[in-house]
Each structure stands twice: as C-alpha cells, then as structure tokens.
Amino acid sequence: MSAHSLPIRIYWEDTDAGGVVYHASYLRFMERGRTELLRAAGVDQSEVLKETGLVFVVTRMEIDFRLPAKMDDEIVVETRIGALGGASLKLAQTISRGGVLLVQADVTCAAINRETGRPSRLPADVREKLAG
C-alpha cells in the first residue's frame, strides 16, 4: 500500500502555554494517521476485533522531534507500511508543515488477542489488504 496522508489543523488544545505543540500531541496525530491508513486499506478495526478478538497495539516507537508546530498550523501526517511480520506491522510516519519535516517516527504495532494480551498472527485478509 502507498503512503497515506492526513491533514490536521493545530488547535489551542494541542499546544502548551506558549502556543507550541505539546510533544504528546504528536502521538495522537500519529495514532490518527495509523488508523486512517488501516481504514484506507479496507481494514475496519472494529470488525477485526468483533470477528477475531484482535486489536493493534504499539509495541515500539522511536521519534525524532526536529522542528515545532504551532497554533493554527496545518500539518500533514504521512504513514507508510515498512514491513509486515507474522503478528506485527512496522510503519514509518512523518509530520510536516508546508513540505518541511517536523517529526519523524518508526513505529512497530502488534496484533494481540484482547482477552489474553498475547500476540496473534495477522488474519490472511488483513495481511492481503495491507500488502496491497
């Protein structure tokens, strides 16, 4: 699957007292980007949970904060699938403003059984859609 782009406007609630985006806000923006990538690939997380009992969780994240976003900026969260493992998914995410890189992250997500909390293989149909 190709990259997915999600535009987001920065609001007061995303910033600290100085009008600069609070570092934890970037985690929410990237979560939205990952969710929208799955949706664009045809993976409905609610249906996957209902049918298989599986949920996706972040198991690792490495983030480089390069430049700040500020109040009223329009940023773009770009998400790409890097690799599909048996029960995991590696993603590359960037956040930019006007083509200027602000944040870069490498993220690993795992499919786990919600009841047991243990890793579980990605269902074949989900794998096909993500490999797309």
Average pLDDT over residues 45-60: 96
Return the closest-CA partner of residue 123 out of 67, 84, 65: 84
Residue 57 gets the label, from left (phi > 0), alpha (psi -120 to 50) or beta, of: beta
pLDDT in tens, 71-101: 999 999 999 999 999 999 999 999 999 999 9
The set of catalytic residues is 16
pLDDT in tens, 104-115: 999 999 999 999
- Whole-model pTM? 0.94
| Mean pLDDT computed over every residue of the chain | 96
Query: In which band, very low, low, confident or very high, does the pLDDT at 132 lie, cut at 50, 70 and 90?
Result: confident
- The strand ranges marked E within 14-119 are 54-65, 74-84, 88-97, 100-113
CATH no., domain 4-131 = 3.10.129.10
Residue 1 pLDDT > 70, yes or no? no
Map residue 89 onto helix, strand or coil. strand
> What's the distance, CA 102 to chain centroid?
16
